Amino acid sequence: MSRYVIEVAYLLSTALFILSLHWMSDPKTARRGVHGGVAAMLVAVLATWGKPEVVNHLWVIIPIALAIIPGVWLSMVPLTAVPQRTALSHAFGGLAAGLVGTAKYFYWISHEPEMLTAFRMTAIILEVILGYLTLTGSLIAAGKLQEVKWIPQRPWVYKGQNFVNFSAFGLAIILGTVLVCAPSMSFLSPFLFVVIILMSLAFGGMLVLPIGGADMPTVISILNSYAGLSAVAMGFVLDNKLLITAGALDGSSGLILSIIMCKAMNRSFFNVLFGAFGQVQQKKAEGEQQSYKPETVEGAAQIIEQASMVVIVPGYGMAVAQAQHKVRELYDQLKKRGIACKFAIHPVAGRMPGHMNVLLAEAEIPYDDLVEMDSINPDMPQADVCLVLGANDVVNPAARHDKGSPIYGMPIIDADRAKAVFAIKRSKNPGFAGIDNELYFMDKTFMLFGDAKAVVGELVKQLSGSGMH
């Protein structure tokens, strides 16, 4: 394949990547965006495969063949596991960048030391640090989301933790600077490079371990940004303009999304990365012990059928129970009765950005009825019923007034301003912020304890008449 054809193919691939992001910004064209991204990657792979310097095609075929099985497996995970699947994808991206940087360094230092200019060495160091910290950070994030037993779900903190973290990162930067100034100074260079790799791997894990599940949406988008930036550095190392462009798109979109997530939680990057949000709070309620008011499904159905407007707030409990299809049946029953039904979507509900949107879209709930937090809050006082499906911290009124609360200042969905609230919860355990939800102790709130799928299914039966007496 000629150089001209390859460059044209790279240009086409770049355009498709950009269009893919544009199409994915709208639910109506999102499917086209996915197809555009797949086509862009296919064109990029084929163009690279056709380069004149690629003489042994077996080394291209083998990794593609090996990647098919995990790729198919990752595509078949349930939607409830999409957050950890996304984290694993970031881990693979970071590993690829780290390995390419490592291979290039050791090849050049052994065979072409003159290639290790200060610029290329800087790119390699950035690629390796960002790639390997993304690898271990993403693996820890995936483990937390999957609730792996040997990975603590709550923030894992200890005295002097930030000092240890920054020391590992700082050592990697210092040694990287040494290699940039003298990339092949002596036999010590490869040893220093290996130390950089080890420090980067350690820092990635130590960076995510102190972060609780409440911050996982932001962590995933930050790791996405790191993976993109490592791809940019890899593009400079390989002198590949397409990698630079694709990595920049990935890194910038991840960064923008992280900013949006932090804004939605009223927090800063520094606070997310080093604040250990999600730690179990030891503070107990003062005075009289508060208690929940349980309600039966029959009683809830009787109130819901009298409503003119119902707002449903989905949360991680809905995802765990895989209740989205039962929720669609409930939605249909409400519509059949002429009851207006909207879904209030909080930006950080679930375990990844857009988690609730994806689940509800799978159940084919009209996208026009999925309303963002800022748009639904003014209508909450007019809602006759607010049905909370496994959401916790995103509907906790303490965020508005309790300055001692770890979620103080975080924008929430104003579920407490509805006329009546029904909350479906698996247990009385607090959410990932580790605090009780004031909403659940209010006079207007009634609890429906149980698996969200089962409870919503019973509500549907009651509303359809099959459960009425």
CA nearest to 222, candidates 210, 209, 207, 238: 207
CA nearest to 277, candidates 163, 166, 154, 160: 154
Element (H, E) at 112: none
CA quadruple 427, 431, 437, 443: dihedral sign: negative
| Category of 465 on φ-ψ map: left (φ > 0), alpha (ψ -120 to 50) or beta | left
- Judge residue 462's burial from the number of C-beta atoms within 10 Å of its C-beta, 0-12 exposed, 13-18 middle, 19 or more buried: buried
Contact 372, 407 (CB under 8 A): no
Pairing state between β 370-372 and 385-389: unpaired
SS3 433: coil
Annotated active-site residue in 239, 369, 384, 393: 393
Q: How far apart are CA 348 and CA 363, in angstroms?
A: 20
- Alpha-carbon distance values, 407 to 60, 222, 390 (Å): 49, 20, 18
Catalytic-residue membership of 379: no
Sheet holding 340-345, edge to edge: 370-372, 340-345, 309-314, 385-389, 421-425, 445-449
- Alpha-carbon distance values, 226 to 71, 203, 251, 401 (Å): 21, 13, 6, 35
- Judge residue 433's burial from the number of C-beta atoms within 10 Å of its C-beta, 0-12 exposed, 13-18 middle, 19 or more buried: buried
Q: How far apart are CA 389 and CA 391, in angstroms?
A: 6
Q: How far apart are CA 334 and CA 123, in angstroms?
A: 57
To which residue do tokens 């980067």 refer? 200
User: Where in the sequence numbering do the catalytic residues fall?
Assistant: 393
